[in-house]
Structure 1
Amino acid sequence: MFLYIVDIFNVFIHVGFLLVVETFLQVSFNIFLLKQKRNTTLNLQNLSLANRLFLLLYLQEN
């Protein structure tokens, strides 16, 4: 039973890590597009909430 609980926590940790990595990659890609200064329009409706917050914080700093 204890190993079953440890397995569940292990799954949660891995899923959380993958979500953090995915958000980081999305934000990095959006920052890359902004630095290219092309005629790209960012559609904030398609981004996750965390991605929107990171992107807005980046835009405020720069």
Structure 2
Amino acid sequence: ELRQARFLLQDIALEIFFQNGYSKLLVFYNSDRSKALKSFSTFQPSLKGKGTTEDPFNLR
């Protein structure tokens, strides 16, 4: 699963959840997050629509 996330109160991160229970937080500069999200979705089409909503209150 791939989710857009906030880091230091900015919408600049992606969080990747793996099937084995691990997760990784990737932090980008400015609009690079959108480019990376598109690249991941192109590389792995099954990620489209899974956790990629623009929820401004993405709190856990």
More strand by share: 2
TM-score (norm 2): 0.31
TM-score (norm 1): 0.31
More helix by share: 1
